[in-house]
């Protein structure tokens, strides 16, 4: 692993632009279960069909009951950033990472201090009004649901929705377009803790690999390993701090 990390660190040091993409494997070390793994949320107790935009619009009260249960399953206790989140934030603060794109909705990258952050699937810590577009902290809304306000509504009277991309919704066009641009312009692209099977995020490493160095760090094989110049089958909470230690 040392030789591959040395090569990656040298490439980052010489790069004009380094971009990272993160998936659920970065958050599982913080105690957040993944969605699609063997013991993932969708294979255990929840049906993805209950979290479609069509269900939210037709049965917002029932949706919010299920959404509250999902949130409590995803965040079974106090969670916070782990060593991988912190390493990526440190890379940015040192000028070694220009942008961080994440498939995760837990908000832990922002909590760790990442600034140039593109949340492809939104952020579960926020809610958005379907009418006026106002965004607010999700915690008070979840408490209102617990107390019986179903569905919760905005001050303007509009339905309040989790500020995440539900099944049946498209990813935010502006965020996806900027993520593609960053991937195209990157000299080094790090794909970390992601199976790289969910589109359109899975297209980003392919875009980056056309003209830049692609590095994949994931415990399980991914469809992009064949085009990656560096593949690390290691724990992200160990690899990323070790990478930081090699950077100036």
**218/68 Cα distance (integer angstroms):** 30
Q: Which helix (H) or strand (E) holds 101?
A: strand 99-102
- Beta-strand pair 117-119/99-102: parallel
List the one residue out of 2, 18, 5 whose CA is nearest residue 213.
18
Residue 156 assigned ligand-binding role: yes
Residue 154 assigned ligand-binding role: yes
**184/182 Cα distance (integer angstroms):** 5
Residue 132 assigned ligand-binding role: yes
**199/218 Cα distance (integer angstroms):** 17
Centroid of chain to Cα 184: 19
Q: Please name the residues in contact with 98: beta carbons below 8 A apart, sequence gap of 6 or more.
A: 17, 18, 19, 92, 116, 182, 186
Count CB neighbours of 202 within 10 A. Answer: 19
CA angle centred on 188, ends 186 and 192, rounded to 5°: 110
Determine which one of 71, 85, 109, 121 is catalytic. 121
Catalytic: 224? no
- Beta-strand pair 122-129/135-137: antiparallel
CB-CB contact of 194 with 222 (8 Å): yes
**96/147 Cα distance (integer angstroms):** 46
- Which positions are annotated as active-site residues? 121
- Residue ranges of the annotated binding site for Zn(2+) are 129, 132, 154, 156
- Residue ranges of the annotated binding site are 129, 132, 154, 156
């Amino acid at each position: 692993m040392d030789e591959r990390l040395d090569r990656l660190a040298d490439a980052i040091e010489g790069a004009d632009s380094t971009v990272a993409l993160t998936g659920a494997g970065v958050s599982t070390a913080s105690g957040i279960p993944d969605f699609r793994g063997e013991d993932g949320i969708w294979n255990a107790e929840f049906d993805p069909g209950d979290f479609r935009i069509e269900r939210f619009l037709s049965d917002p009260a029932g949706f919010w009951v299920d959404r509250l249960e999902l949130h409590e399953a995803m965040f079974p206790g106090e969670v916070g950033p782990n060593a991988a989140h912190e390493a990526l934030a440190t890379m940015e603060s040192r000028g070694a990472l220009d942008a961080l794109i994440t498939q995760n909705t837990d908000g832990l990258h922002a909590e760790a201090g990442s600034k140039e952050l593109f949340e492809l699937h939104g952020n579960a810590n926020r809610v958005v009004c379907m009418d006026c577009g106002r965004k607010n902290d999700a915690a008070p809304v979840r408490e209102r649901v617990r107390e019986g306000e179903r569905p919760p509504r905005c001050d303007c009277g509009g339905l309040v929705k989790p500020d995440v991309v539900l099944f049946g919704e498209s990813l935010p066009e502006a965020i996806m377009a900027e993520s593609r641009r960053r991937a195209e312009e990157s000299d080094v692209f790090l794909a970390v803790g992601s199976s790289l099977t969910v589109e359109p995020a899975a297209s980003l490493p392919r875009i980056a690999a056309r003209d830049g160095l692609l590095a994949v760090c994931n415990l399980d094989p991914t469809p992009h390993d064949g085009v990656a110049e560096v593949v690390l089958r290691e724990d992200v909470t160990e690899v990323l701090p070790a990478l930081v230690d090699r950077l100036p």
